[in-house]
Amino acid sequence: MLRTSVTKLAATAATGAVLMAAAACGGSSSTSSEASTSAAATTAAAAPKAKVGLAYDIGGRGDQSFNDAAAAGLDKAKTDLGVDAKELEATAGETDAQKEERLRLLAQGGYNPVVAIGFAYSAAVGKVAKEFPDVKFAIVDDAVAGPNISNLLFAEEQGSFLVGAAAALKSAKGNVGFVGGVDVPLIHKFQAGFEAGAKAVKPDIKIQTKYLTQPPDFGGFNDPAKGKTAAQGMIDAGADVVYAAAGGSGGGVFEAAKAAGAKAIGVDSDQAKTADPGVQGVIMTSMLKKVDVAVYDFIKKFVDNAVVAGPTIYDLKAGGVDYATTGGQVDDIKSKLDEYKQKIISGEITVPSK
């Protein structure tokens, strides 16, 4: 941000010079003011914009879920803050070395800050951030440490508790399902919260669980066919509500729910708005994980020269997670869900994360 400070000093000096020159020539105060405004406008126009580099997780912009939430935050920063941006996408089955190269390309290209979307970038961010100590890095969903790394973390278990309670309140069969994209600790948080919320409503409820892939295969976050097969199996076994914490694979879960007359729960984005229009009606609610808010906040802090390294946790109290009400399908249970929400915020309920 040294460049920003120098620019501000230059703007002050330029304005002062204009005022002095106007006074020496006997100019009026209005003339001085107009000259000052013109000089400031010229300096502002010449000031460089922040150049944001953003590296998506598998599925990229258009996944209707996690990555799209990040994209929304970046788009807001473009509109509100006037930043420039370059976006790069991950590919299925890629190595850490490929992730490193993606981040390195952004940093070498003059992009600062650089934002990595997803815990899969953990090793790559840790390594590349050391190579570019003057670049600010942020990573969503991982706590990798460094003096120039900001960690954007969420209390996914709290939001998942609320949609778990919604699932139990809406299930006519006392049987619900959880589809996780990849069997990793992050998605375990979604599962733990969902199960806790469902059992808070119905202690004897049946909860079916299925993970689509095991690491290092992260394809489970972008495989609708596997999501559909998993959800079909759960519905055949009696589930009438299925929660998809599986990124782009959730589209398949929604298709299975629609075909069977069941209900589904989305994740990350309000998927009753973002999913394919043909399946939006089966999505009774979504667990909102406001990656857009976190990404925008980080970029704004950079622009304001206020970035700090280390973790920022977006929980229910901070408005970082929540449940969606689009479509009105949970309107009749909203008061109960909000009661649980306040108990979590107050600390009366502690939601497990594993």
My answer on whether 127 and 203 are in the same domain is: no
My answer on whether 175 and 268 are in the same domain is: yes
Count how many Cα atoms sit within 13 Å of the Cα of residue 134 in the half-sphere of its side chain.
6
DSSP reduced 3-state for 118? coil
Burial class (CB within 10 angstroms; exposed 0-12, middle 13-18, buried 19+) of 78: middle
CB 352 within 8 A of CB 192: yes
Helix (H) or strand (E) holding 240, with range, is none
Structural domain includes residue 352: no
Give just the sign of the alpha carbon dihedral 170, 353, 300, 87. negative
Give just the sign of the alpha carbon dihedral 12, 134, 142, 93. positive
My answer on whether 238 and 266 are in the same domain is: yes
CB 271 within 8 A of CB 205: no
Reported as a pLDDT band with limits 50, 70 and 90, residue 48 is low
CA end-to-end distance (rounded Å), the chain = 40
Q: What is the DSSP string of 165-226?
A: HHHHHH-SSSEEEEEEEE-SHHHHHHHHHHHHHHHHH-TT-EEEEEEEE-TT--GGGS-HHH
My answer on whether 177 and 83 are in the same domain is: no
In this prediction, residues 155-177 reach a mean pLDDT of: 98
Q: List pLDDT tens digits, range 176-223.
A: 999 999 999 999 999 999 999 999 999 999 999 999 999 999 999 999
My answer on whether 176 and 277 are in the same domain is: yes
Structural domain includes residue 69: yes
Reported as a pLDDT band with limits 50, 70 and 90, residue 34 is very low
In this prediction, residues 268-282 reach a mean pLDDT of: 95
My answer on whether 129 and 266 are in the same domain is: no
pTM of the model: 0.82
My answer on whether 121 and 213 are in the same domain is: no
My answer on whether 150 and 160 are in the same domain is: no
CB 315 within 8 A of CB 164: no
Q: Are strands 283-289 and 321-323 parallel, antiparallel or unpaired?
A: antiparallel
The mean of the pLDDT values for the chain is: 89
Structural domain includes residue 229: yes
My answer on whether 67 and 149 are in the same domain is: yes
Reported as a pLDDT band with limits 50, 70 and 90, residue 24 is very low
Structural domain includes residue 174: yes
Reported as a pLDDT band with limits 50, 70 and 90, residue 25 is very low
| Number of structural domains found in the chain | 3
Range of the domain at 282: 156-289+324-346
My answer on whether 301 and 200 are in the same domain is: no
At 13 the pLDDT is 40
